[in-house]
Amino acid sequence: MSTPTRVALVMGGSGGIGRTVVERLAADGMAVGVHYAGNRDAADEAVKAIEAAGGRAITVTGDVADERETAAVFDAMEAVFGGIDVVVNAAGILALSPLATFDLDVLDRMHRTNIRGAFVVAQQAARRARAGGAIIGFSTSQTRMGFPGYSAYAASKAAVETMTFVLAREMRGRDVTVNAVAPGPTATAMFLEGKDRATIDRLMAQPPLERLGTPADIADVVSFLAGPARWINGQVIYANGGIA
């Protein structure tokens, strides 16, 4: 008897780390939902690449902070694939400024996506993930590193860590793990934007491994939590090369 295909939904899967996670989970043999908020072309490209490699994937869209739109994303996944095993929420907004001068309208927009959105996605995942599944959120190593300018962003991700800890206990008896990944400095377009060579070199020198992380480094951790890591639960995995 063949093993049923596992199904993964990656929120924010059209670009950055989320795109690499999509590709990795598809390579692991999962059918994948590629969620996007605004860049449909990038999501379509991801699906075409997965299908060209022999995998199964669809695009789904919706505002992560809108409970109706997010429920519709999960409905679409279940309609096509019959259920969901793994939910990865890589959707997020990064805005940087010293706390004393941070624009409160920007704060509200960022926290709507990073906190409310994380809550809404986790809520749907908690209701729908099948036994043997995994719910994986994204935090940041800035909750430990404390770089200036990151107060608002790190605060939003500290909320994700608390949700992870509590939801893992609320899922008792469901055989669904709940964890979060906290990347350190990772060479994505979003992270590198606005940084000069000297700043990048300084960041590369900080970890004992003396380099920036790559999206593939982070996707490896997600793959582990989504598959064989059944005894890791309620944890935040700091993927930062030892920087913190």
CA 163 to chain centroid: 14
Clarify whether 150 is annotated catalytic.
no
Of 36, 150, 153, 238, which one is the catalytic site residue? 153
Tell how strand 177-183 and strand 129-138 pair up: parallel
Q: Is 102 exposed, middle or buried (0-12, 13-18, 19+ CB in 10 A)?
A: middle
**Interacting residues of 241 by C-beta distance below 8 A, sequence separation 6+:** 184, 207, 208, 209, 211, 213, 217
End-to-end CA separation in angstroms for the chain = 46
Tokens of 82: 């019959």
Active site residues: 153
